[in-house]
Amino acid sequence: MLDNAPRGTICIEDIEIGMVRSLHKVVTDRDIELFAEVSTDRNPVHLDDDYARDTIFEGRIAHGMLTAGLVSAVIGEQLPGHGTVYLGQSLKFLGPVRPGDMVLAEVEVTGIDHAKRRVTMDTRCLVNGKKILIGEATVLAPSRKFD
C-alpha cells in the first residue's frame, strides 16, 4: 500500500469512534484585535471596554467565530489533521469567552463512513469546565490510499 497522507495526519483507515483530540489556548486581547482586523468584524462589544460594559456581557468578549476557529485548529492539525477538508459545521454558542480565558477546544469522533471518507465529530469548547460552544462537524478525511 502506498502512503500519500501528510505527516502527523490520522487517516480514515485509522480513525475510530470515540477518538478525542483537543487543544488549550488563552484568548488574548491581541487575538481579538487580529481577528477583528482579518474578519473586518469590529463590533465594539469585542474592542471597546466602555461600550461592552453596558451590554448583557458586562465587558468585552471574543468573537464567537474566533472560538469556533479553535475547533477548526484541532481538526486541521490533529484529528484527522493535515489534508482534511471541512464539509460542514453546526455551532451553538452557550456563553462568552473573555480576554484572558483559557479555552479547551475538543473534537470527538461519533461517526465514520469509510466508503465516502467522511467523519462526523461532536465539537465543543469549554472555559473553566463550562461548555461555551457545542456543535457537530463533518469532514473528508485523508487516506493512505491513492484515489
Evaluate if residue 7 carries a pLDDT over 70.
no
Question: Is the pLDDT reported for residue 146 higher than 80?
Answer: no
pLDDT value for 98:
98
Is pLDDT above 50 for 3? no
When pLDDT is averaged across residues 132-137 and rounded to a whole number, the result is: 98
Residue range 51-71: mean pLDDT, rounded: 98
* Mean pLDDT (whole number) for 27-48: 98
- For range 44-67, the mean pLDDT: 98
Residue 6 has pLDDT above 70, yes or no: no
Which residues have a Cβ under 8 Å from the Cβ of 73 and sit 6 or more positions away? 23, 105
Contact 36, 30 (CB under 8 A): no
Domain layout of the chain by residue ranges? 12-140
* Strand 130-140 relative to strand 85-93, pairing: antiparallel
Residue with the three cell numbers 483530540: 21
On the question of pLDDT at 4 being above 90, the answer is no
Residues of the chain with pLDDT > 90: what percent? 91
Q: Which fold has domain 12-140?
A: Thiol Ester Dehydrase; Chain A (3.10.129)
The average confidence (pLDDT) of the chain is 94
Separation of alpha carbons 79 and 108, rounded Å:
9
Per-residue pLDDT tens digits for 90-127: 999 999 999 999 999 999 999 999 999 999 999 999 99
